[in-house]
Chain A
Amino acid sequence: MHTLKERAMHVVFLLTACVSIAAVVLICVFLFANGVPAIAEIGVFKFLFGTEWRPENNIFGILPMIVGSLYVTAGALVIGVPVGILTAVFMARFCPPKLHKILTPAIGLMAGIPSVVYGFFGLVVLVPFVRENIGGRGMSVLTASVLLWLMILPTIVSVSESAIRAVPNTYYEGALALGATHERSVFFTVVPAAKSGIFAGIVLGVGRAIGETMAVMMVAGNQPLIPDSLTDGVRTLTTNIVMEMGYSTDLHREALIGTAVVLFVFVLLINVSFSLLKRKGAKA
């Protein structure tokens, strides 16, 4: 009786642990089964490198969206990475403990704000600001990048901070003993030692930026064209799906699922590089 119960629960726990495997398999099967045939019908090359997206004429090229996703992500990183890493350094090595007690939950809150709230903030604050001070219609690559910067900042800060904190204190003390100032010790011994952890944080931020949907849709303008300047509107892979999924049919619908397949592959690549970096960080 006793062993029977033990064995039964063992199997139950094993089954629950297999749910995540089943979920990934199901997601892959359903996305690929619905998306890949469409990509094949359109032609892989035409689909990935076609610069025109005109569903009404059955022309499905997603290059503008791929480029759009890359642009806004790169834009968010250009501002986000320096500010994020420096803030992480501040929190790990410069911050008085009292301030740290306030900043940590604040960063947590920043990560928890729903993307619609960010999107709405972008719509009522950033879009008019860009329109009046920088030019264009306001809904642009620049606006989306700034908004994404806000959204990925907490990710970069918290992952980098724990990486910096994980560096043994002897590194820092050794540098101080050799006569380096506090700043020099931190920036030239501690930060380089935390390099792979910091990269992992950046990669995680990239994942968030590429996958963000609602906030980007509210501020990016969503024209399916490759933008020429920072103030041009842009459409990303994610917004392409969410904008047209509601009313699409047949090949159009499958092309949208194909867009999700491309996005999924991007995210898988990012995930793999994240776990490789994390493993490297754990070894060092």
Chain B
Amino acid sequence: MTDPINTTTWRQRLRSYRKHPGSLLLLALVCLAALITAAALLFVVGYILVKGIPNLSLSLFEWKYTTENVSLMPALINTLFMTVLALLFAVPVGIGAAIYLTEYATRGNKLVNLMRITAETLSGIPSIVYGLFGSLFFVKALHMGLSLLSGALTLAIMILPLIMRTTEEALLAVPDSYREGSFGLGAGRLRTVARVVLPSAIPGILSGVILGIGRIVGESAALIFTAGTVAEVATGLFDSTRTLAVHMYSISGEGLYIDETYATAVVLLVVVIAINALSSFAAKKLSKQ
């Protein structure tokens, strides 16, 4: 917003509010709502951190999971596997689709409309429906069983619309003069996309990918029936595994490991906070360009 031409002092404002009590009431309501929102967030994050940090201990990071020591290390490593694998499927497809939609497709194409509608539909489907679909399709129909692979493929479909949308926005933000310059120098469409458009859109794409990682890390409902809940480090694509979020759900349900659950929640929260910070850092880089 531009700077106001004339500024008012507090005294003038107070006088104006005395004349317009309705406005004062609205101001109070707005500030109250913002306070409630901020307080709610602080309470949730603060409560988990305060209760959880004292429960963090080295034994929680031991290599083996046992019923005496519900180590979160295997789940943490599995989360990493799951994330990498899901991104391996979702990122190339998402970026390719976004390139098609922004650089190749002609305006008003029926197929393009259908692509947009389906991507929007995908982004609204609840994760439990993805989980159910994954268990019907990947686990049963394709015989992959409860496995790392089934879970990763399910998650890949889930984050696909997110990656498509953020990449599309990043590509659209690249000025047309870049493309025109490249075409003017005799480059073809593919070369223009690969050498000129994509490199300048990378920060935007990255921020989308990082948001996708956040969704993968936090996901539980879609994984219970696709990747299963085995608390050991996966040694192959077809091993059943649990990620950190599923691990937290499993140990919270048993009621015996409340302290460990707090600690796991802290680890999850820290990961999510780091991911968010990274994503906004990447986005800021984009806006600076």
- Is the CB of B53 closer than 8 A to any CB of chain A? no
Contacts of A225 in B (CB 8 A): none
Q: Tell me whether chain A's interface is mostly helix, strand or loop, or mixed.
A: helix
Of A48-56, A104-112, A136-144, the one touching chain B = A104-112
Bound complex: CA A243 to CA B274 (Å): 32
- How near does chain B come to A97, taking the closest CB pair, in angstroms? 9
A182 vs B23: C-alpha distance when bound (angstroms):
8
The answer to whether B26 touches A30, judged by C-beta atoms less than 8 angstroms apart, is no
Interface of B is mostly: helix
Is residue A73 within 8 Å, beta carbon to beta carbon, of the partner chain? Answer: no
Total number of residue pairs linking A and B with CB closer than 8 Å? 249
Interchain CB contact under 8 A, A2 and B93:
no
Would you call A86 and B29 a contact (CB within 8 A)? yes
In A1-37, the 8 Å CB interface with B consists of: 2-3, 5-6, 9-10, 12-21, 23-24, 26-27, 30-31, 34
| Pairwise interchain contact B249-A30, C-beta atoms closer than 8 A | no
Q: Which residues of chain A have C-beta atoms less than 8 A from B125's C-beta?
A: 27, 211, 264, 267
Q: B154-185: which have CB < 8 Å to A?
A: 157, 160-161, 164
Output the nearest chain A residue to B117 by Cβ-Cβ distance.
Answer: A275
Complex interface: chain A residues within 8 A of B204 (CB): none
Q: Closest Cβ of chain A: how far from B166's Cβ, in Å?
A: 14
Q: Cβ of B218 and Cβ of A27 under 8 Å apart?
A: no
Q: Are A214 and B249 in contact (CB under 8 A)?
A: yes
Q: Among residues 215 to 269 in chain A, which have CB atoms less than 8 Å away from a CB atom of chain B?
A: 218, 238, 241-242, 245-246, 256-257, 260, 263-264, 267-268
Chain A CB within 8 A of B63 CB: no
Select A260's contact among B100, B117, B129, B220, beta carbons within 8 Å: B129
**Closest chain A residue to B250, Cβ basis:** A116
Contact B132–A257 (Cβ < 8 Å): yes
Are B133 and A30 closer than 8 Å at their CB atoms?
Answer: yes
Cα–Cα, bound, A113→B218 (Å):
7
Q: Does A117 contact B (CB under 8 A)?
A: yes
Q: Verify B133–A27 contact, CB threshold 8 A.
A: yes
Choose one: A6, A120, A274; the contact of B248 (CB below 8 Å): A120
Are the C-beta atoms of B129 and A87 separated by less than 8 Å?
Answer: no
Chain A residue numbers with a CB within 8 Å of B1 are 169
Inter-subunit contact A242/B221 (CB<8 Å): yes
Q: Does B196 contact A (CB under 8 A)?
A: no
In the assembly, what is the distance between CA of A184 and CA of B48, in Å? 40
CB distance from B79 to the nearest CB of A (A): 11
Contact B34 A90 (CB under 8 A): yes
User: Is A83 at the interface (CB under 8 A from chain B)?
Assistant: yes
Residues of B within 8 A of A169 (CB): 1
Q: A153 near B: Cβ within 8 Å?
A: yes
> What are the interface flags for A68-105 relative to B under an 8 Å C-beta threshold, 1 for contact and 0 otherwise?
00000000000000111111011100110000000101
| Contacting pair A275 B126 (CB below 8 A) | no
For B211, the closest partner residue in chain A by CB is A112
Contact flag A181-B16 (CB < 8 Å), given A87-B34, A117-B268, A257-B136:
yes
14 additional contacts (CB under 8 A) given A106-B41, A119-B249? A18-B115, A19-B97, A24-B118, A24-B121, A87-B30, A87-B34, A87-B36, A109-B276, A117-B248, A120-B248, A184-B26, A211-B124, A213-B127, A257-B132
Q: List the 6 closest pairs (A to B, CB-CB), nearest first.
A: A211-B126, A114-B218, A16-B96, A86-B33, A13-B100, A17-B100
